Amino acid sequence: MALTREIIVTYGAYAISTATGRKLDGKVQSSRSHTTGTCEFSFYVFGATAVAFAAECVAAEAAFRIPHATFTVTQGGSTLIAASHAANTGFDADPEIVKADDVGDSGRSRRYTVRLEYGLPANTGAEQQVGIREVAVDVSYEPTRRRIVTISGVVTAAGTNSAREQYEDIIDALETAIFAAGDLDIASTARELVGEPTARSDTENKICEFSRTWEELIFSQAGSSLNDSGIVQQRLSISRRKEAPGDTPTAQRLAIIDLSYEAWVDVDVTTDIRAKYTAIRGWLITQIDTTLEGTNFYLESEEFEPYYDENRFTVNMTAKGQLAGTAILEQRITVDDDDAKGWEIVPTWSGDALTAYTYQGPRIIIRSVTHMLRVKGTYDNVAALSFAKAAIGEASGRAPDSAGGGDWIIIRQRPQATKLTVGLAGNTMDLTEINVVTQMRYVKKEAGGGNISPPPVVRGVPVSY
């Protein structure tokens, strides 16, 4: 009477049992760890004819060359091992079949030994999240002690989910727990996911390796309480500089503010990066105002550069603003004397073309004061004269070279005022460019006399005294 064994080993469509005519030899050995399971067993194949025997050998070796098939061991109808690739109870099976020298080998029988290794889902209950096989947290510090956190690990398929599906399902909860840990403790509003360089699944999507990078936020994104859900990896820099190309004292040049901004926009939130920029533009201008400590400024230039394929944009702005309260922003005063010495020259004819009679005539000295300035506010040409008074007074207090005892008399003034509104709409400043030219003549009044009245005129001809 033939012995019937209750144990049946099945790999894919290949079954080793009494019913299939394949005989298990000895015991089935198995092992399990957190990540893998192994099973090793030996069996005989038989054939009544040479052809049938060869076909059994080919079938056995072909069956255990197939990777990733479902593997089960049952006894008496009860399951001992169930490594179902489809159901994720065991996956990525990697079998090896060996035909060694054995006393049971003959022309119609052959003994094979199979070693099979397969992956196990991370579902023991000890994992941080179902499917997490391993996880690592790397915290690096910038010189400011701002933290850059990289979370990496391995997720297995679990339940009905593939590895990638399980990763997507659990990653948020996993990271929330990690950041809530006492030694890390970074609130959700104070961190931002800036990169996911790795989310790689294997051939059958049973194992997924991942890596994600987070940055700690210490400065507001576009006016939010640190994190703006649509903005990723914001980079804002503002430079404030002063220039002094040369002014007559008392001028206070405007400070120059250069703003540079770059941000990526989460495609799950919006792909309308123009609208996103419009929404945060006011906040960027506020940063200029803050850098200038709330003083008056105007926006001189604005450059918006969208990168549509990457869903990101850059912004460059230039603004000018006051750092002091003076109204005079630029100023230059130029004083020059035009001194006609008074020599009269009458040519003579003596055979030498250079000879001449000379005698002293009236000396005429004209002093010009040119006052150019740019001031905050709007002024007309009459009001412009008030800015020139001090310079005119200072210039009239100096006698010309080699002269004295006289007075300066203003003979001509030309005040100019150009009103300007500078800056882009919404951020402007009213300025006036002023240019006042004053001409004075230096004279000595005749001794014993003051100003004289003009002589009477008879029939359009002046009367001589």
Verify that 386 and 401 share a domain, yes or no.
yes
According to DSSP, the residues that pair with 338 across neighbouring strands are 366
CATH code for position 263: 3.30.70
- 305 occurs within a structural domain: yes
Could you tell me the CATH number of the domain that includes residue 75? 2.40.30
- Whether 126 maps to a domain, the answer reads no
pLDDT reading at 12 higher than 90: yes
Enumerate long-range contacts of 321-325, CB under 8 Å, 24 or more apart: 321/254, 321/255, 321/257, 321/288, 321/292, 321/295, 321/296, 321/297, 322/252, 322/254, 322/255, 322/292, 322/295, 322/296, 322/297, 322/376, 323/242, 323/252, 323/254, 323/255, 323/292, 323/293, 323/295, 324/252
Structural domains in the chain (count): 4
What is the residue type of 17?
S
**428 within domain boundaries:** yes
In a domain, 464, yes or no: no
In tens, the pLDDT along 34-66 reads 999 999 999 999 999 999 999 999 999 999 999
Same domain, 81 and 139: no
Write the pLDDT tens digit of every residue in 63-96: 999 999 999 999 999 999 999 999 999 999 999 9
Where b means 16+ CB within 10 Å and e means fewer, 409-427 reads eeeeeebebeeeeebeeeb
Count of CB atoms situated within 10 Å of the CB of 38: 14
Q: Are residues 205 and 139 in the same domain?
A: yes
Judge if 432 and 335 occupy the same domain: yes
- Reported confidence tier of residue 350, pLDDT bands at 50, 70, 90: confident
Q: Last residue of some domain: 216, 247, 270?
A: 216
CA angle, corner 428, sides to 252 and 307, nearest 5?
110
Is 304 within a domain?
yes
Identify the domain containing residue 269 by its residue range.
Answer: 232-321
Q: What is the tens place of the pLDDT at every residue in 191-215?
A: 999 999 999 999 999 999 999 999 9
Among 159, 150, 152, 160, residue whose Cα is nearest residue 208: 152
Question: Residue 458: pLDDT band by 50, 70, 90 thresholds?
Answer: very low
Longest dimension (CA), the chain: 170
Residues 406 and 357 in one domain: yes
Same domain (yes/no): 56, 25? yes
The last residue of a domain, from among 119, 146, 170: 119
**Given pLDDT bands bounded at 50, 70 and 90, which one contains residue 456?**
low
What's the confidence (pLDDT) of residue 326?
79
- Of 293, 300, 302, 237, nearest in space to 263 by CA: 237
Confidence of residue 452 (pLDDT cuts 50, 70, 90): low
Does any domain span residue 37?
A: yes
pLDDT value at residue 449: 56
Instruction: Please give the radius of gyration of the chain, using alpha carbons only, rounded to the nearest integer.
Output: 48
